[in-house]
Chains A and B, each alone.
Chain A
Amino acid sequence: MGALGAALGAGCSAKGDPNEILNVSFDPTRELYAEYNALFAAHWAALGNPTPKVVQSHGGSGKQARAVIDGIDADVVTLALGYDIDVLAERRLVARGWRERLPDRSAPFTSAIVFLVRGGNPKSIRDWDDLARGDVAVITPNPKTSGGARWNYLAAWGYELRRSGGDEAKAQAFVEVMFRRVPVLDSGARAATTTFVERKIGDVLIAWESEAMLAAKKLSAGSVEIVTPPTSIAAEPPVAVVDAIVDYRGTRGLAEAYLQRLWEDDAQRLGAKHFYRPRGAGAAPEGMFRSIELFTIDEIGGGWQQAQPKHFADGGIFDRIYEDR
């Protein structure tokens, strides 16, 4: 029991170091925040503050939100979708009006949902309706567990909804056919990328543009290539200060500065470097991101507050189409 006492003693660093903040983030931002944290630390120290330490935790977006609810001391959250922060707002961990506290609905970067195909595009996949073809196997993670995959799903839904002039039955039929072509439904975005690229399963991976560009760069050149469809959804991964934690730990000033700084030019350039579409004009090199007509989640279904229960809650549209397989 003495050992347990020692363990408890070591773990109860109650409020911790006020000069250290924890950024609880989703999976594909690891490389981005590793660099941004160094940039921010230098900036914050240059203002005459002691050099701060930013500690990272990465995982699936929904799982990370769950960890914050279960008590991980996240000073800031940088997640894949607004709904995961709404969940924190419902538990009063984050203030209700969190979206309006920072510019651009609190999303410093965006990404588009694009396709990653085998080198040479042997199945000649160009647009969303190619994913419903009988000879195409689609890889996408499970939208129930992966925030990133919810954007994938909504991109397909939005494509057909807009094409059919707002016919929801057609949109549902389209995603149903597409999900019938999914041989492996991984739990997270990185796992799905590994399934497609390393295990070589499937003909097309639906992915965030940032994730697709990273995979294309990191992995053997020419074995995969990116196909940008003419239209897609704009994925907006938002950030927020976790009010309950920063007020408890006394880190509000540091945490707020950390997030505000994401909109500065050098941070925006860093976003572009890690393949996120920056908000600021001119932050990305000319021609780095292919032009694409992007629609937002608000345009196809009234935001996450409506889309989440309708599509992804238990018994929602995704459950119904997936059970029928």
Chain B
Amino acid sequence: MAGVAGSVASRAGGASKVRRVTRDPAWARALLMMLALGFVGLFVVAPLAVVFSEAVRGGLGPFVAAVAHPETWSAIKLSLLVVVLAVPLNIVFGVAAAWAIARFEFRGKGALITLIDLPFAVSPVVSGMIFVLLFGGHGLLGPYLRPMGIKVIFALPGIVLATAFVTFPFVARELIPFWQARGSQDEEAAQVLGAGPWTTLFRVSLPTAKYALLYGVVLSTARALGEFGAVSVVSGHIRGRTNTLPLHVEILYGEYQFQAAFAVASLFALMGIATLGAKWALERKMAADHER
């Protein structure tokens, strides 16, 4: 599988590159390493340490009180519910889009690839505004939905839609290069042996891409949990109802409850670390798969 393009190959990393670096002079290597470590220390480790130390500054009691507060719990539950609803949407969309792009030639394919990246290109605030303009009381669809008793923005559906919108590139972005690089010989073989398109997808294409898919799911989960801008626009900030975890952190901070804000933020930091762990494990799996 040499010469594989895309993100999978660059992560798997060729051994040849490592040898080249060792030929550089020692001072250059030391300087580069100091720079990289210094940067990571200053911008990643130090803030993380601050978050945790501020979280327990006034003792463990206030920390537990902040985390166990009913509004914190409702924020945690809402954030998890949003992930549980938005991420499957992304999986369905991401697999469909990646499949279409990797396997077929059609007019507008270039445009579709570009459009998938749109949520990365526009500010999350704008993403939120899109849904307000669509579903707001004076929006395009809002006035028709309201008499039917359907509330989208300032309620769960709006938060799920906004989250799905900002996270939808992740799954597709992981699958497209993987399937493109792999070629279609396995699928052709499956079809020659009499498998229909669905069987081919579920028994051949998806199992081979399982780590790429999982990788996309991990990234999109992390982003869905942490999304602030788009959700802030459509949430309405109703306490105990439409406040997600990131919005709750901001509220606590704005109420001068600094320790509580950092306590809840430290939950985020833990989730971030768990995400990194999952990402690392998946990368190893993918690299191992590659060797075979």
In the bound complex, how far is the Cα of B256 from the Cα of A13, in angstroms? Answer: 33
B5 CB to nearest A CB, Å: 33
Residues A11 and B85 in contact in the complex (CB < 8 Å), given A56-B238, A190-B254: no
Complex interface: chain B residues within 8 A of A22 (CB): 238
Question: Given contacts A69-B137, A71-B153, A72-B236, are A7 and B85 in contact (CB under 8 A)?
Answer: yes
CB atoms of B157 and A8 under 8 A apart: yes
Task: Determine how close the nearest CB of chain A comes to the CB of B183; give it in whole angstroms.
Answer: 31
Shortest CB-to-CB span from B174 to chain A, Å, is 20
Q: Which residues of B contact A11 (CB under 8 A)?
A: 150-152, 155-158
Q: How far is the CA of A22 from the CA of B92 in the complex (A)?
A: 36
Is the beta-carbon distance between B256 and A73 smaller than 8 angstroms? no
CA of A281 to CA of B72, assembled, Å: 39
Q: Is the CB of B237 within 8 A of A59?
A: yes
Question: Which residues of B123-156 are within 8 A (CB) of A?
Answer: 132, 135-139, 142, 146, 148-156
Closest CB of chain A to B127's CB: distance in Å? 16
Interface pair A57/B238, CB less than 8 Å apart: yes
Query: Which residues on A sit within 8 Å (CB–CB) of B132?
Result: 70
Which residues of B have CB within 8 Å of A190? Answer: 254
Q: Chain B residues with Cβ under 8 A from A55's Cβ?
A: 238-241
**Whose C-beta in chain B lies nearest to the C-beta of A188?**
B254
Decide if A163 is an interface residue (CB 8 Å cutoff).
no
- Tell me if A31 and B255 are in contact (CB < 8 A): yes
Bound CA span A219–B155, Å: 35
Given known pairs A27-B254, A55-B239, A71-B142, the reply for A8 and B150 (CB within 8 Å) is: yes
- Contact residues in B for A200 (Cβ distance below 8 Å): none
- The B145-177 residues at the A interface (CB cut-off 8 A) are 146, 148-158, 160
| In the assembled complex, A218 has its CB within 8 A of some CB on chain B | yes
- Please tell me if B278 contacts chain A, counting CB pairs below 8 Å: no
Task: Give min CB distance, A119 to chain B, whole Å.
Answer: 18
Known pairs A12-B150, A57-B238; A70 contacts B138 (CB<8 A): yes
Q: Provide the bound-state CA to CA distance between A159 and B239, in Å.
A: 39
Say how far A31's CB is from chain B's closest CB, in angstroms.
7
Closest Cβ of chain A to B146, distance in Å, is 7
- Contact (Cβ within 8 A) A67 B154: yes
Assembly CA distance A191 to B250 (angstroms) = 11
**Cβ contact within 8 Å between A14 and B88:** no
Given known contacts A7-B160, A11-B157, A27-B254, is B136 in contact with A70 (CB within 8 Å)? yes
- B154: chain A residues within 8 A (beta carbon): 67, 70-73
Task: Tell me if B89 is interfacial: C-beta within 8 Å of chain A.
Answer: yes
Interface string of B230-242 (1 = CB under 8 A from A): 0000001111110
- Return the chain B residue nearest A30 by Cβ: B255
Q: How far is the CA of A30 from the CA of B237 in the complex (A)?
A: 12
Q: How far is the CA of A13 from the CA of B155 in the complex (A)?
A: 9
- Residues 133-144 of A, flagged 1 when their CB comes within 8 A of B and 0 if not, give 000000000000
Closest partner residue, chain B, to A197 (CB atom):
B256
Which residues of the other chain, A, contact B89 by a CB distance below 8 angstroms? 3-4
A15 at the interface (CB under 8 A from B): yes
Q: Give residues of chain A (199-224) contacting chain B, Cβ–Cβ below 8 Å.
A: 214-215, 218-219
B residues near A218, Cβ cutoff 8 Å: 256
A8 to B254, CA, bound (A): 31
By a CB distance below 8 angstroms, the chain A residues around B85 are 3-4, 6-7
Q: Mark B76-95, 1 if CB is under 8 A from A, else 0.
A: 00000000110011001000
Residues of chain A contacted by B255 (CB below 8 angstroms)? 30-31
B142 to chain A, nearest CB (A): 6
Q: In the complex, what's the smallest C-beta–C-beta distance from B200 to chain A, in angstroms?
A: 23
Pairwise interchain contact B156-A7, C-beta atoms closer than 8 A: yes
Tell me the minimal C-beta distance from A169 to chain B in angstroms: 38
B126 to chain A, nearest CB (A): 15
Roughly how many angstroms separate A191 CA and B153 CA in the complex, as a whole number?
25
Q: Does A58 contact B (CB under 8 A)?
A: yes
* Chain B CB within 8 A of A10 CB: yes
Supposing A4-B89, A22-B238, A55-B241 touch, asked if A71 and B146 sit within 8 A by C-beta, the answer is yes
Which residue from chain A places its CB closest to the CB of B132 in the assembled complex?
Answer: A70
Are the C-beta atoms of B149 and A15 separated by less than 8 Å?
A: yes
Q: How far is the CB of A18 from chain B (nearest CB, A)?
A: 15
Residue in B152, B236, B237 whose Cβ sees the most chain A Cβ within 10 Å = B236
Question: Closest CB-CB distance, B167 to chain A, in whole Å?
Answer: 14
Extra pairs beyond A55-B238, A215-B256 (14, CB < 8 Å)? A1-B92, A10-B156, A11-B150, A11-B157, A14-B151, A30-B254, A58-B251, A70-B153, A71-B142, A71-B146, A71-B154, A72-B154, A191-B254, A194-B254
30 A–B pairs (Cβ distance < 8 Å), ordered by A = A1-B92, A3-B84, A3-B88, A4-B85, A8-B152, A10-B157, A11-B150, A11-B155, A11-B157, A12-B149, A12-B155, A13-B151, A14-B150, A14-B151, A15-B149, A55-B239, A56-B238, A58-B251, A67-B236, A69-B138, A70-B132, A70-B142, A70-B153, A71-B135, A71-B136, A71-B137, A72-B154, A73-B151, A91-B138, A191-B254
* A-B CB proximity, top 7 nearest: A14-B149, A71-B137, A70-B136, A11-B155, A11-B157, A72-B154, A11-B156
